[in-house]
């Protein structure tokens, strides 16, 4: 069967992403725009998995309903299921970033409810170049400038981008050849948005040789450098990092011998591990933390310098109001096991805090700094402390990291 250039690129990408084991069911996120509609049609013609289509209406434009109607009509014409989700902006933060995050969360939830483990997205080569320019303008380093991954895991779902080697215009050519109508989002021409500015800038930069292909090539180089840095980070972690009751400790004697860029990565990774934050702290903040001589708050953590090492513990202020049932995971990483036969009704997990320390009849176990004890998991009945295993008040309760 004759394949068009975009189809050949898609087939090659799918072979690379899935090998000989594509998923039985593949979710496809389709907005009604040219990129995602072309992806859907080519995946249908590929036929390697049963497709389920999902769209998200952000409620920001009246035209969105008409665009999703295009998707619904296409799905109906080809016997595909189609679900339309809604998302509403709360007015907080950057609109486009909030819309991307909200869309991804909504689709992930939909996929889990449908029993789908993998969802395909329509990002293209042009998206790669635009993202590179936007991050370059923000002063991103190697990780930020690295090319988008064709496959990654997030929110319990595998996300795949099989069109990263395909240009946006070639997909429009494909759609015209297939007589498929798509919608052009007018916000893609609104110069208030950074991505639109980057898209417009590309036409100017091309005269200097900074074409989409050249920028994507550079992003690919950055991705390879990111792999090297990741390998070095593993080696540094194995020799420099120890753990103590959920805290991360960087051994100063070894850490001080590391290149500054590698130590920055190691500290950023440790902060994210302790806080559970999805994003790493900003580069300048991490640099400042490396030079700190006094306790410093950063990224929901406390950095406690000592002559022999740098201890990173959870900051009590970041979790002082965090509560959950004793059967749930607290702060995204702590699990409590009650004594056998214990009645757990009415009990909750919260930070030990100064109030809890005052309620302990015996002094807490030595070894952990007070700051670490304050943010450690404890079992409460209302305002009464029941157990604080890491502080030595066990009463038959056990605590473990998940």
Q: Which domains does the chain have, with CATH numbers?
A: 5-208 (3.40.50.620), 245-314 (no CATH), 319-401 (no CATH)
Token pair listed for 111: 């996929």
Q: What is the mean pLDDT of each run of 10 residues along the chain (402 residues)?
A: 89 95 96 95 97 87 80 96 86 72 92 97 95 90 92 95 97 96 75 78 83 94 95 95 94 89 93 89 85 89 90 96 95 95 93 96 86 96 96 95 92
Question: How far apart are alpha carbons 120 and 236 in whole angstroms?
Answer: 35
To the question of whether residue 35 is assigned a binding role by annotation, the answer is yes
Neighbours of 114 (CB within 10 A): 15
* DSSP collapsed to 3 states, 81-131: EEEEEECCCCCCCCHHHHHHHHHHHHHHHHHHHHCCCEEECCCCHHHHHHH
Whether 53 contacts 166, CB under 8 Å: no
What confidence score (pLDDT) does residue 353 get?
96
For residue 398, the surrounding DSSP H or E stretch is strand 398-401
Who contacts 372 (Cβ-Cβ below 8 Å, separation ≥6)? 245, 246, 247, 311, 313, 314, 390
To the question of whether residue 300 is assigned a binding role by annotation, the answer is no
Residue identified by tokens 């080809």 is 78
For residue 214, the surrounding DSSP H or E stretch is helix 212-240
Whether 64 contacts 75, CB under 8 Å: no
What confidence score (pLDDT) does residue 62 get?
64
To the question of whether residue 47 is assigned a binding role by annotation, the answer is no
To the question of whether residue 31 is assigned a binding role by annotation, the answer is yes
What confidence score (pLDDT) does residue 60 get?
64
What confidence score (pLDDT) does residue 289 get?
83
| 329 secondary structure, DSSP code | P
| 375 secondary structure, DSSP code | T
To the question of whether residue 356 is assigned a binding role by annotation, the answer is no
What confidence score (pLDDT) does residue 93 get?
65
Neighbours of 141 (CB within 10 A): 16
| 298-334: b (≥16 Cβ within 10 Å) or e | bbbbbbbbeeebbbbbbbbebbeebeeebeeebbebb
In angstroms, the first-to-last Cα distance of the chain is 50
What confidence score (pLDDT) does residue 362 get?
85
Burial (CB < 10 A; 0-12, 13-18, 19+), residue 259, is: exposed
What confidence score (pLDDT) does residue 208 get?
84
To the question of whether residue 32 is assigned a binding role by annotation, the answer is yes
């Amino acid at each position: 069967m004759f394949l068009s250039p975009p189809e050949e690129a898609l087939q090659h990408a799918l072979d690379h992403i899935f090998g000989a084991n594509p998923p039985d069911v593949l979710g496809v996120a389709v907005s009604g725009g040219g990129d995602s509609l072309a992806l859907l049609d080519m995946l249908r013609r590929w036929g390697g998995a049963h497709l389920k289509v999902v769209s998200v209406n952000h409620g920001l434009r009246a035209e969105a309903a008409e665009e999703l109607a295009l998707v619904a009509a296409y799905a109906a014409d080809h016997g595909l299921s189609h679900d339309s989700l809604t998302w509403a902006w709360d007015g907080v933060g950057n609109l486009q970033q909030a819309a991307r995050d909200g869309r991804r969360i909504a689709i992930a939830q939909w996929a889990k409810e449908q029993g789908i483990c993998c969802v395909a997205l329509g990002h293209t080569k042009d998206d790669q170049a635009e993202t590179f320019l936007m991050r370059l303008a923000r002063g991103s380093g190697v990780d930020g400038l690295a090319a988008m991954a064709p496959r990654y895991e997030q929110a319990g779902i595998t996300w795949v981008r099989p069109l990263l080697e395909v240009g946006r215009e070639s997909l429009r050519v494909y759609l015209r050849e297939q007589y498929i109508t798509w919608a052009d989002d007018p916000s893609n021409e609104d110069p208030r948005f950074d991505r639109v500015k980057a898209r417009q800038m590309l036409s100017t930069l091309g005269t200097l040789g900074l074409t989409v292909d050249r920028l994507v090539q550079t992003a690919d180089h950055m991705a390879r450098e990111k792999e090297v840095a990741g390998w070095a980070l593993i080696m540094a972690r194995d020799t420099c990092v120890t753990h103590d009751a959920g805290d991360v400790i960087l051994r100063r004697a070894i850490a001080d011998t590391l290149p500054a860029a590698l130590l920055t990565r190691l500290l950023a990774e440790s902060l994210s591990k302790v806080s559970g934050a999805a994003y790493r702290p900003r580069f300048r903040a991490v640099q400042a933390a490396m030079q700190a001589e006094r306790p410093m708050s950063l990224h929901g953590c406390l950095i406690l310098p000592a002559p022999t090492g740098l201890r990173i513990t959870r900051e009590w202020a970041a979790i002082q109001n965090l509560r959950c049932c004793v059967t749930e995971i607290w702060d995204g990483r702590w699990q409590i096991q009650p004594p056998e036969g214990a009645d757990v009704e009415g009990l909750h997990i919260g930070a030990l805090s100064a109030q809890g320390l005052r309620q302990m009849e015996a002094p807490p176990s030595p070894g952990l700094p007070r700051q670490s004890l304050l943010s450690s998991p404890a079992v409460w009945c209302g305002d009464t402390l029941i157990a604080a295993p890491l502080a030595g008040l066990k009463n038959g309760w056990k605590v473990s990291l998940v």
